């Protein structure tokens, strides 16, 4: 069995092939356009990746600067806290010294007779313990030591009348 083709069949096949070739060419053009678009998108994507990396690098640099500034701020805050503690200690010391001065004023606001008794009593105390007290620098004695000495001796000696006066 042979297939027989007529001219019309041949022309129809030729037309169909021609249409198919045209469609293939059109599809190749579309594929080429799609490849160009893909290439453009890949290039854009690459540029975006580069931009993202640049921004990440800038952000990292900023975070380093921020961390450094935060560290410096923390150190300064710690220094301020330390200075505030020292200031508080000094204010407490000043307050104590002011109280000591007020106490000293009240103890040494005495008349001439009491002053003489205090001096005589201190001299007597230091004379009696000369061997113990010889190494003591009177400037090293603090006010509380003197108050202790005076509280111990003053009630007794103020009842006595000094002979010299």
CA distance 96 to 100: 6
Q: For residue 66, how many C-alpha atoms fall within 13 Å in the half-sphere facing its CB?
A: 6
Q: Tell me, what's the pLDDT at 92?
A: 86
pLDDT tens across 115-158, in order?
556 566 666 655 555 544 445 555 555 555 555 555 554 444 44
Mean pLDDT of the chain: 73
Confidence of residue 53 (pLDDT cuts 50, 70, 90): very high
CA distance 67 to 59: 12
CA distance 99 to 101: 5
Confidence of residue 165 (pLDDT cuts 50, 70, 90): very low
Confidence of residue 8 (pLDDT cuts 50, 70, 90): confident
Cβ pair 118, 154 in contact under 8 A = yes
């Amino acid at each position: 069995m042979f297939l027989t083709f007529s001219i019309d069949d041949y022309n129809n096949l030729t037309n169909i092939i021609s249409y198919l070739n045209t469609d293939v060419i059109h599809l190749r053009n579309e594929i080429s356009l799609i490849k160009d678009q893909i290439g453009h998108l890949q290039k854009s994507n690459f540029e975006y990746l580069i931009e993202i990396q640049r921004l990440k690098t800038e952000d990292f640099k900023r975070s380093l600067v921020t961390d450094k500034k935060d560290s410096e701020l923390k150190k300064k805050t710690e220094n301020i806290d330390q200075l505030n503690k020292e200031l508080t200690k000094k204010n407490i010391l000043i307050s104590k010294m002011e109280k000591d001065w007020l106490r000293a004023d009240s103890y040494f606001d005495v008349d001439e007779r009491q002053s003489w008794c205090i001096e005589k009593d201190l001299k007597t105390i230091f004379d009696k313990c000369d061997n113990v007290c010889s190494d003591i620098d009177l400037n090293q004695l603090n006010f509380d030591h003197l108050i202790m000495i005076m509280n111990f001796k003053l009630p007794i000696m103020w009842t006595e009348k000094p002979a010299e006066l």
